[in-house]
Structure 1
Amino acid sequence: MSTPSSLKGGPAAPKKRETFSSRKLFILSAVGSAVGLGNIWRFPYVAYENGGGAFLIPYLVAILCAGIPLLFLDYAVGHRYRGSAPLAYRRLNRKAEMIGWWQVLICFIIAIYYAAIIAWAAMYCWFSINKAWDNNADGAGAFFQGDFLKVAEGAGVSFEYVPNIFVPMLAVWLITVIIMVAGVNKGIARANAVFMPLLIVMFLILVIQSVFLPGAAEGLNAFFTPNFEALLNPGVWAAAFGHIFFSLSVAFGIMITYSSYMKRKSDLTGAGYTVAFANSSFELLAGIGVFAALGFMAHNTNAAVGDVASGGIGLAFIAFPTIVSNAPLGSLIGVLFFGSLVFAGLTSLISILEVIVAAFQDKLGWNRKAATLVVTIPVALISLVLFPTTTGLYLLDTMDAFVNQFGILAAALVSVIVVGAGLGALPKLAKHLNRFSSVKVGTGWRVLVGGIAPAALGYMLINEIQTKLSEQYSGYPAWFNGIFGWGMAGLLIVGALLLSLIPWSRSSKVSDPEFEGYQKAVERDEVPETSGKEY
């Protein structure tokens, strides 16, 4: 197989890009990103509220018709154009760069509050040993909001700091920055190679212990008993699609960035299926463990499972502490559950920050260490200023709700419309996927990405806009939602436009004859795997 003369060391020899040293490390890192807090505290409740066992039908449809196709889209963009989200979109088309920066800023918002939740979970690992919440006569909920978070009476911005939150948050940021500075292989891949096996082992032990609790069968019956009438409700299908978009970490830059670190001859679709079904398997495992524990809680309080079931922060920091206080070996259950939240959160936080670091590294031509420190230290400082305070919970709740709905959903909708209908790039990206993959994609994939995905995203986005406009979110003051909700979502778009105007470093090789020549050679399969010449 010959190599074009333009690639024999002359002007077309591209710069070396960091790559995962093996396919296994990429998959571990991608699964580490996908498996986050939402898998543990969101999926079980979403499934229970939307038909129980019957929810698995729209859930599976959503995975196959939207989740995996969009995952393949991210892989194709990142792997073909060998860059962070802004660089990859810029190489796809100059006008698309802004989408990449929109995704970067979404990750910025998520990162600043995600660290707070990891810190809460770390503290609750410690609290589980002595069941500290039992000291509050009003229960685990009063302990969480009062003794622990010291939540202010109303939503606002306070600089009254809570040491019990600030110290563990600082520790979370120090650990994360060290991992990020070490780079893709020595930092991110090694961290995931340690954290993910620990997470799986801990959660397996938790599930085994939970299913033998008194009342566990009642909880599992509530979780799995199908309500097929729910399938006639469009909201149930929207819930399935919405959960999959967030669960698989698609459409906000993470998988584009990670796939840009894959070796040139990588099985893209094979890796995608592995990541998607590993993520779903963990969610199902989480559902079993959580509802077995909730069944025990219902049995212990002579209540129905529906009366004690909850999701999100309420499940993690109110329901589970109650379970820990009453279950045999409850302290062990608490350490395993909250330890799992810590590890799942850390692997996701690392992937979120990598989107930001890689973008500025590409844009400005900085080395890894400089880009990491310049990016992560300001992000950490903003996080440590806003969230270890008595109003941190209000800020987190509002920013999380609006960045998910009017950040991730909106950016995903715009990206699939621009890439599919606007630029007509799906045939080219399908060809790239098929060049390196064991499972080929065809017209069906293009229809799903260009038709089904935008229809589902558009439906959910319109619903969210109508809901948020009809009432003040969580009853918070209009000014608060206006600044930290609507205002924040709008600033993401403005910031993305401004960042796209900054000139690119020459070392990025954004769009020049070298890069184009290299890509054409790749398409002709004329670049040897051992050439080392990769963007």
Structure 2
Amino acid sequence: MTTAPTGRGGKTAPVPRETFSSRKLFILSAIGSAVGLGNIWRFPYVAYDNGGGAFLIPYLVALLCAGIPLLFLDYSVGHRGRGSAPLSYRRLNRAAEPLGWWQVLICFVIAIYYAAIIAWAAMYTWFSVTKAWGSDAEAFFFNDFLKMAPDAGLSFDFVSNVFFPMFAVWVVAIVIMVAGVNKGISRANAIFLPLLVVMFVILVIQAVLLPGAMEGLNAFFTPNWEALQDPGVWAAAFGHIFFSLSVAFGIMVTYSSYLKRKTDLTGSGMVVAFANSGFEILAGIGVFAALGFMAAASGTAVSEVASGGIGLAFIAFPTIVSEAPFGAILGVLFFGSLVFAGLTSLISILEVIVAAFQDKLGWSRKSATLIVTIPIALVSMVLFPTTTGLQLLDTSDAFVNQFGILACALVTVIVLSAGLTALPGLQKHMNRTSSIKMGTVWRILVGGIAPVALGYMLINEIQSKSAEQYSGYPAWFNGVFGWGMVGALIIGALLLSMIPWSEKSKLHDPEYDEFEAELAADEAAEELKA
């Protein structure tokens, strides 16, 4: 629909908000957002490094006591507010709008470097066929592929190996975003997510059949019960769950705003949460089976080859590909999975930003997408396909992921629970149509347990980052792209919230007024029954 009925005072009302055409497509999109690079390259090593099989206990506790409750909080805010993160928080209370913009800016920073990692994975999918890294995967990655400068700084020496695949990633992402929620995001997730699952299942089957795979699985699952006495292990579990489920990014607030009015929020959330965790455990099995093979082939212990993040993906796994039977297939499946997981997450991140400006300024879907995503793509392609791109990525990721998201999540739960006392109303909203009813326990978990866990992790991060320069980078570099970026997110959120809402914005939306009236009627009917 391209036109809208006349609203108040003869003004043209906003174009009706898109909705997911089915609950299944929402669940696929939400899982696609949650299942990202971190599930494949971060969870296996975090679990191994924090007690192995014993880590699954704090992981499950964190999932049930913080991850799922906060996921439900995001769902209820977005579905109740029927808007992007800034609009949904504003509809709770005008003073809460900066929380939404804070999440939008976090997504902006993540988007500009996330595309670079997807581009690396795309290139390594091809390199897996040719085994271009030769006998030294580490030297190839840093010197030949990234051409990394020896010192951290800001360079504009472009690396064509990264620039051209990044350009392709942005073209694909922008085309999907322009198509909209149903024709773009839903269709992309309906294609990419099943492909990702099929590819990864085949990868896991191939990995567990490798010689030495059982040694890797034993290292991954053997429980170290003493680790459960370490508060740091519990903090690692809670921290991973927050990032893994995409809470406090604005993603789930935005996606849930596209749900139809009578949707099972909590039932959908349970499916998303456990599907995400199931994929993580599957990733752990596949990754550590492969690492077990690598350890056996090199005659070393699994502990000497186990790593997470970039080291696992672009150094350890290429070595496995070179030595394993049918290694090329293993590499294509692994790096192809990274590409699909990255793309489904990237489009969800971009949707947070596009929806926010579309709602506030009343732009059409196409205009909002092009005006927002093209500048993001340009910034991304100026900063990251360069000889200093890795250092920029490393610092931005460490500070924005830790301080930006943790601080934003902490402030959000405190504001909603203690400041606005919004939890009872959000609980009532969820329970109206959900199969699993939330009660006092949910409010205690969101307003009590979550702030304690978030506060503990945030304090630890501040102490560790303040004690020494991150990664040994220069103080000015960490100051600008680390601490400075964190401060800029907060200032930017306050400034964006001060921009007046357009007369064409979703703030002036008769469709939402109708929704409010329907809720009021339902509440009145419930009171009469009581």
Shorter-chain TM-score range: over 0.9
Residue of structure 1 in register with 2:438 after alignment? 441
Q: 1:34-67 CA deviation, whole Å, 9 max, x = no partner?
A: 0000000000000000000000000000000000
Residue of structure 2 in register with 1:86 after alignment? 86
Q: How does 1:297-376 map to 2 (within 5 A)?
A: 297-376=294-373
Would the aligned equivalents of 1:14 and 1:515 in 2 still touch at CA under 8 Å?
A: no
- Structure 1 position 424 matched with structure 2 position 421: yes
Residue of structure 1 in register with 2:71 after alignment? 71
Shift of 1:14: 8.2
Give the Cα separation in 2 of the matches to 1:203 and 1:426: 39
Which of the numbers 390, 398, 402 marks the counterpart of 1:401?
398
Would the aligned equivalents of 2:16 and 2:511 in 1 still touch at CA under 8 Å?
A: no
Give the Cα separation in 2 of the matches to 1:401 and 1:165: 21
> Alignment identity in percent?
78
Give the Cα separation in 1 of the matches to 2:286 and 2:475: 39
Residue of structure 2 in register with 1:389 after alignment? 386
- Say which SS state the counterpart of residue 188 (structure 2) adopts: helix
Shift of 1:521: 2.1
Matching residue's letter, 2:85: A
- Say which SS state the counterpart of residue 350 (structure 2) adopts: helix
Residue of structure 2 in register with 1:286 after alignment? 283
Give the Cα separation in 1 of the matches to 2:410 and 2:51: 27
- Say which SS state the counterpart of residue 303 (structure 1) adopts: coil
Give the Cα separation in 2 of the matches to 1:200 and 1:62: 25
Matching residue's letter, 1:34: A
- Say which SS state the counterpart of residue 522 (structure 2) adopts: coil
Residue of structure 2 in register with 1:186 after alignment? 183
Residue of structure 2 in register with 1:532 after alignment? none
Residue of structure 1 in register with 2:528 after alignment? none
Would the aligned equivalents of 2:200 and 2:337 in 1 still touch at CA under 8 Å?
A: yes
Give the Cα separation in 1 of the matches to 2:505 and 2:72: 24
Structure 1 residues 515, 335: CA separation in 2 closer, same or farther (over 3 Å shift)? Answer: closer
- Say which SS state the counterpart of residue 505 (structure 1) adopts: coil
Shift of 1:90: 0.6
Residue of structure 1 in register with 2:209 after alignment? 212
Residue of structure 2 in register with 1:26 after alignment? 26
Would the aligned equivalents of 1:85 and 1:359 in 2 still touch at CA under 8 Å?
A: yes
Shift of 1:516: 5.2
Matching residue's letter, 1:381: L
Where does structure 2 lack aligned partners over 5 or more consecutive residues?
525-530
- Say which SS state the counterpart of residue 183 (structure 1) adopts: helix
Give the Cα separation in 1 of the matches to 2:401 and 2:113: 13
Where does structure 1 lack aligned partners over 5 or more consecutive residues?
1-7, 528-535
Give the Cα separation in 2 of the matches to 1:410 and 1:512: 32
Would the aligned equivalents of 1:91 and 1:511 in 2 still touch at CA under 8 Å?
A: no
Which of the numbers 193, 196, 199 marks the counterpart of 1:196?
193
Would the aligned equivalents of 2:362 and 2:506 in 1 still touch at CA under 8 Å?
A: no
Shift of 1:523: 4.0
- Structure 1 position 276 matched with structure 2 position 265: no
Shift of 1:509: 4.7
Residue of structure 2 in register with 1:530 after alignment? none
Would the aligned equivalents of 1:32 and 1:347 in 2 still touch at CA under 8 Å?
A: yes
Q: 1:437-468 CA deviation, whole Å, 9 max, x = no partner?
A: 00000000000000000100000000000011
Give the Cα separation in 2 of the matches to 1:223 and 1:305: 9
Shift of 1:524: 2.6
Shift of 1:507: 2.9
Matching residue's letter, 2:415: V
- How many residue pairs match? The answer is 517
Shift of 1:505: 1.5
Structure 1 residues 509, 389: CA separation in 2 closer, same or farther (over 3 Å shift)? Answer: closer
Residue of structure 1 in register with 2:449 after alignment? 452
Would the aligned equivalents of 2:82 and 2:258 in 1 still touch at CA under 8 Å?
A: yes
Would the aligned equivalents of 2:193 and 2:340 in 1 still touch at CA under 8 Å?
A: yes
Shift of 1:405: 1.1
Give the Cα separation in 2 of the matches to 1:336 and 1:515: 45
Shift of 1:518: 3.6
- Say which SS state the counterpart of residue 83 (structure 1) adopts: coil
Give the Cα separation in 2 of the matches to 1:28 and 1:518: 25
Residue of structure 2 in register with 1:224 after alignment? 221
Would the aligned equivalents of 1:116 and 1:169 in 2 still touch at CA under 8 Å?
A: yes
Would the aligned equivalents of 1:11 and 1:514 in 2 still touch at CA under 8 Å?
A: no
TM-score for both structures, normalised by structure 1: 0.95
Would the aligned equivalents of 2:359 and 2:507 in 1 still touch at CA under 8 Å?
A: no
Matching residue's letter, 1:488: M
Matching residue's letter, 1:460: M
- Say which SS state the counterpart of residue 508 (structure 1) adopts: coil
Give the Cα separation in 1 of the matches to 2:396 and 2:28: 29
Would the aligned equivalents of 2:14 and 2:504 in 1 still touch at CA under 8 Å?
A: no
Shift of 1:510: 2.5
Runs of at least 4 residues of structure 1 off by over 4 A? Answer: 8-15, 511-517
Which of the numbers 464, 477, 480 marks the counterpart of 1:480?
477
Give the Cα separation in 2 of the matches to 1:114 and 1:220: 30
Would the aligned equivalents of 1:63 and 1:244 in 2 still touch at CA under 8 Å?
A: yes
- Structure 1 position 122 matched with structure 2 position 98: no
Shift of 1:513: 8.8
Shift of 1:522: 2.0
- Say which SS state the counterpart of residue 18 (structure 1) adopts: coil
Would the aligned equivalents of 2:82 and 2:512 in 1 still touch at CA under 8 Å?
A: no
Q: 1:281-326 CA deviation, whole Å, 9 max, x = no partner?
A: 0000000000000000000000000000000000000000000000
Give the Cα separation in 1 of the matches to 2:14 and 2:429: 19
Give the Cα separation in 2 of the matches to 1:207 and 1:468: 36
Q: 1:144-188 CA deviation, whole Å, 9 max, x = no partner?
A: 000100000100010000001000000000000000000000000
- Say which SS state the counterpart of residue 154 (structure 1) adopts: coil
Q: 1:344-365 CA deviation, whole Å, 9 max, x = no partner?
A: 0000000000000000000100
Matching residue's letter, 2:469: Q
Matching residue's letter, 1:123: M
Structure 1 residues 10, 360: CA separation in 2 closer, same or farther (over 3 Å shift)? Answer: closer
Shift of 1:514: 7.8
Would the aligned equivalents of 2:152 and 2:474 in 1 still touch at CA under 8 Å?
A: yes
Which of the numbers 237, 244, 254 marks the counterpart of 1:240?
237
Give the Cα separation in 1 of the matches to 2:399 and 2:467: 15
